[in-house]
Amino acid sequence: MSLLERYVQPTESQMPTVSHQGAIPAGQPTCTIWIDGHEVTAVVGEAILRAAQRAGFDIPTLCDDEKLAPAAACRMCLVNVEGFDRPMPSCHLAVEPGMKVTAVSDELFKLRRQNLEYILSDHNAYCMPPCQIGCPTHIDIPGFLELMAKGQHVEAGRLLKETLPFPYALGLVCPAPCQEVCRRGLVEEEIAIRQCHGYFGEVYLEMDEAPTPFPQRTATGKRVAVVGAGPAGMTCAYYTALNGHAVTVFDQMPKQGGMLRYGIPEYRLPKVKLDKELNSVWQLRDTEFRGGMALGRDFTIDDLLAQGYDAVFLGIGAWRSNELRIPGEDLPGVIEAISYLNQNARGDPVPVGKRSKVVVIGGGFTTFDCARTSRRLGADVTVVYRRSRKEMGAHYSEVDDAEHEGIRLEFFAAPVRIVEKNGRVGGVEFQRMALGEPDASGRRRPVPIEGSEFVIECDTVIPAIGQVPNLDWYDRSPGLRKSRRETIVTNGALMTDRPGVFAGGDVQMGAVTVIQSVAQGKLAAKAIDRYLAGDDMAAVAEEIDEEEKVPELIDIVPYKPVEPQVRMPFLPFEQRVRSFDLIESGYDKAAAEKEAARCLQCVCPDVGRCHLQRLSLEHGLTDNRFHRAEPVDYHDYEYDFSHDFILRDLNKCINCTQCVRICRDVIGANCYGLMGAGYDSIVTTPWNVSLQYTDCVSCGACAETCPTGALMMRERDLRTYELDVVRCIYCGDCVEVCPHGALGETPNFELASYRRFGTTVLAKEELAVARTWKPSEHIPANGDGKAAVRPPEVRPPAPPRWGA
């Protein structure tokens, strides 16, 4: 028997091929089977799976194709059949009259889930990038990191600014939810995504005109008023202006920036550079800033609409600190956190100095801004929080830094009263707390321990336990609704109950992070654009809801060699005392590009089409127990991207053998087979050569049938072909067969290649040179140091121009 001889697979002759859609063709002998208690008509001898699919049952499978003989390899379609003591593959078992099949059961679900966990544990590839999903504004992180690693800074900036207009500011102050979920963290350490876009932001500050995601659209003649020049308002203004509307930004403060300027201290975000970055909004046409205008004091929403603004965006933030509601809160020496930061930012005198003893109560970002500011003013600072370090709202790096800067941290203590001494604050009495059951936020609720009171002596208390929006103007704004948490209520499109009035950022969500405000500003700009175009806002709200839905991630086990994060240079701790110098000095070009290159690019082009992904989501594969073992436990194959039309990535192969069967049984080229033994078995070409050295006919059937992204069609990428100049006889056969029509004949029966700017008649020499002059090839320099256009020895005579 020869190796190439092909036998009919056992069940192939037995199983009639009836489409899994539509009706059974007339004349086929049928029988009745039961699937999950439902009566199903099946063609005698066909597979259970086929009958089930036709009847609308969704039995999972990864290796079944109705054109092919079944392989029963993926083991996903196993069902319980009466009379068999274990589950049988429905793709392989022929129906018999009266057969009773159970396709859905908890037990089968668990077994299939285990099967998928196995597959994903050796699927050395990625699916959706968790960073992009984790980022509130959904920056295309793998995309900009890839461009960055290639050094394409302006392109990267365009991509970045599609969703994030202020990469420099966010590069310094963002808590980076993207980094917490970065898959590189599964290898060793996450990518420093925040620092990377921070580096970009800094590059754009130096440019005369910052890149925009797209050229500003032509003026629409509509006018939009944005109230609040904070992150939400400025983002909204940026995108609204780009959309071609005229924008006026009002702010109660004289200068732009909102909390970025008046809340976040200088050592975290230098205001000079912040201004430079925010100025990118004013570089756009029809934009205007009007400082010192407070809503409610200087104008109302009605005023704005009366002045001819077509839409209003409220991004006024949350500037009112929560009260402690304990005795002694009104004593001198108790400072409101926001106004304290505000005064410090403006350079006004603050009631904290060298000999102050300060207690800051809370665990959020504001808490640490107050504490670290006080520390820099020379005070002795203690931060008291009622839960543990883990539950703190501030980013862990900020907590660690504060501790290193000499700030004392006191956990599990809640204030009971403020102790009076000589008519002002003399200390705070605290009670010890223990953690009880988790509350609505998922954090464990602190429970007081009786009799554990103690006093921390101090002269200044800064309660920083969160902020709410200041809604003093609310009563004079008809049509708006506020929640119990003192925030403005909007629909999914961020529009309030009053048409044309939008709200976003802290005023809509309560005090949140900068990036969440940016995200809302971006969404609001989109909604405003749609509103001004006269769209139905309920439909827009639905659309945004759908887009913002967080997709579930499946847990796959990647394997990559270890390469640690590029470290950001930091200001030494000893230099931070009494200094408001910026702590993070930023990446330089080399460091930024090196860090960007660490990105695993964990995006798969097959997302959305991949059956493995779909089944994994359906089976809730949110965890995988097979991470982090020895390298021998995983496979790390090399890609085969050398074929002109088909991309092969064995790392994504799940050995379903569909390509093997389709190439052998349908196409006849027989390019694939299983190689290796045992766990190392893998579907590949004979001797694992590149696909282009097989009998491949480039039909693409394998890529079409592949359930994952292991085989994919390549975007057309035609390169020059080799030409043996000695043997070419200008027969023109190549003209006949060229599938792309790239070659032709001139009236004189010469060969011509069709180029973008006309036809070039090719001499033999030219054809030959065409292959030696690949764009990727290195062109040696001339003696004078200038790069030669081509090596002189292969330079052809100037081609004669057709028609000249």
By the criterion CB under 8 A, which residues form the site for other proteins?
1-3, 5, 7-8, 10-11, 13-14, 70-75, 78, 86-87, 89, 92-93, 111, 114-115, 118-119, 121-122, 130, 133-134, 180-181, 183, 186, 553, 555, 622-630, 633, 654-655, 657, 673-674, 676-682
CA diameter of the chain: 109
- Exposed e or buried b per residue across 723-757, where buried means at least 16 C-beta atoms within 10 angstroms of its C-beta: beeeeeeeeeeeeeeeeeeebeeeeeebbbbeeee
Q: How far is the CB of 510 from other proteins (least distance, A)?
A: 23
Q: Which is nearer to other proteins, 382 or 651 (CB)?
A: 651
Cβ contact 663:670 at 8 Å: yes
Q: How far is the CB of 649 from other proteins (least distance, A)?
A: 18
Q: Which is nearer to other proteins, 438 or 499 (CB)?
A: 438
Please give the torsion angle defined by the CA atoms of residues 235, 238, 242 and 243, in that order, rounded to the nearest 10 degrees. Answer: 50
Rounded CA separation 185/181 (Å): 8
48 phi and psi angles, rounded to 5 deg:
-55, -40
Q: Which is nearer to other proteins, 6 or 217 (CB)?
A: 6
DSSP E strand stretches across 665-761 = 673-675, 682-684, 711-713, 743-745, 751-755, 758-761
Q: Which is nearer to other proteins, 121 or 240 (CB)?
A: 121
Q: Which is nearer to other proteins, 126 or 319 (CB)?
A: 126
Q: Per residue, what are the HEC states of 202-240?
A: HHHHCCCCCCCCCCCCCCCCCEEEEECCCHHHHHHHHHH
| Beta carbons within 10 angstroms of residue 26's beta carbon | 5
Rounded CA separation 436/165 (Å): 42
Q: How far is the CB of 44 from other proteins (least distance, A)?
A: 15
The CA-atom distances, in angstroms, between 324 and each of 211, 295, 321, 410, 687 are 46, 27, 9, 17, 73
Q: How far is the CB of 12 from other proteins (least distance, A)?
A: 9
Task: Identify the H or E element spanning 762.
Answer: none
Q: Which is nearer to other proteins, 612 or 647 (CB)?
A: 612
- Exposed e or buried b per residue across 137-155, where buried means at least 16 C-beta atoms within 10 angstroms of its C-beta: bbbbbbbbbbbbbeeebeb
Q: Which is nearer to other proteins, 111 or 305 (CB)?
A: 111
Q: How far is the CB of 83 from other proteins (least distance, A)?
A: 11
Q: How far is the CB of 439 from other proteins (least distance, A)?
A: 22
Rounded CA separation 214/163 (Å): 12
| Beta carbons within 10 angstroms of residue 679's beta carbon | 10
Q: How far is the CB of 400 from other proteins (least distance, A)?
A: 21
Q: Which is nearer to other proteins, 29 or 534 (CB)?
A: 29
Q: How far is the CB of 506 from other proteins (least distance, A)?
A: 25
Q: How far is the CB of 635 from other proteins (least distance, A)?
A: 10
Q: What is the CA radius of gyration of the chain?
A: 34
Q: How far is the CB of 235 from other proteins (least distance, A)?
A: 24
DSSP E strand stretches across 213-333 = 223-227, 246-250, 287-290, 311-314, 320-321
Q: How far is the CB of 700 from other proteins (least distance, A)?
A: 25
Structure tokens at 671: 């390019």
Structure tokens at 424: 């002002």
Q: Which is nearer to other proteins, 84 or 639 (CB)?
A: 84
Rounded CA separation 563/568 (Å): 15
The CA-atom distances, in angstroms, between 332 and each of 93, 329, 335, 457, 460 are 84, 9, 8, 15, 8
Q: How far is the CB of 670 from other proteins (least distance, A)?
A: 12
Q: How far is the CB of 793 from other proteins (least distance, A)?
A: 51
Q: Which is nearer to other proteins, 502 or 634 (CB)?
A: 634
> SS3 of 313, please?
strand
Q: Which is nearer to other proteins, 114 or 642 (CB)?
A: 114
Q: Which is nearer to other proteins, 123 or 375 (CB)?
A: 123
Q: Which residues contact 113 (CB under 8 A, 6 or more apart)?
A: 619, 620, 621
Q: How far is the CB of 476 from other proteins (least distance, A)?
A: 44
Q: Which is nearer to other proteins, 531 or 672 (CB)?
A: 672
Q: How far is the CB of 195 from other proteins (least distance, A)?
A: 20
Cβ contact 490:503 at 8 Å: yes
Which is it for strands 246-250 and 287-290: parallel, antiparallel or unpaired?
parallel
Q: How far is the CB of 601 from other proteins (least distance, A)?
A: 17
Q: How far is the CB of 9 from other proteins (least distance, A)?
A: 9
270: buried, middle or exposed (CB in 10 Å: 19+, 13-18, 0-12)?
middle
Cβ contact 637:124 at 8 Å: yes
Q: Which is nearer to other proteins, 15 or 318 (CB)?
A: 15
Cβ contact 471:482 at 8 Å: yes
* Residue pointed to by tokens 């830094």: 401
Q: Which is nearer to other proteins, 73 or 712 (CB)?
A: 73
Tell me the residue type at 195.
Q
Q: Which is nearer to other proteins, 134 or 363 (CB)?
A: 134
Q: How far is the CB of 624 from other proteins (least distance, A)?
A: 7
Task: Identify the H or E element spanning 242.
Answer: helix 231-242
Q: What is the DSSP string of 433-482?
A: EEEEEE-TTSSEEEEEPTT--EEEE-SEEEE-S-EE---TTGGG-TT--B
Q: Which is nearer to other proteins, 74 or 226 (CB)?
A: 74
Q: Which is nearer to other proteins, 154 or 181 (CB)?
A: 181
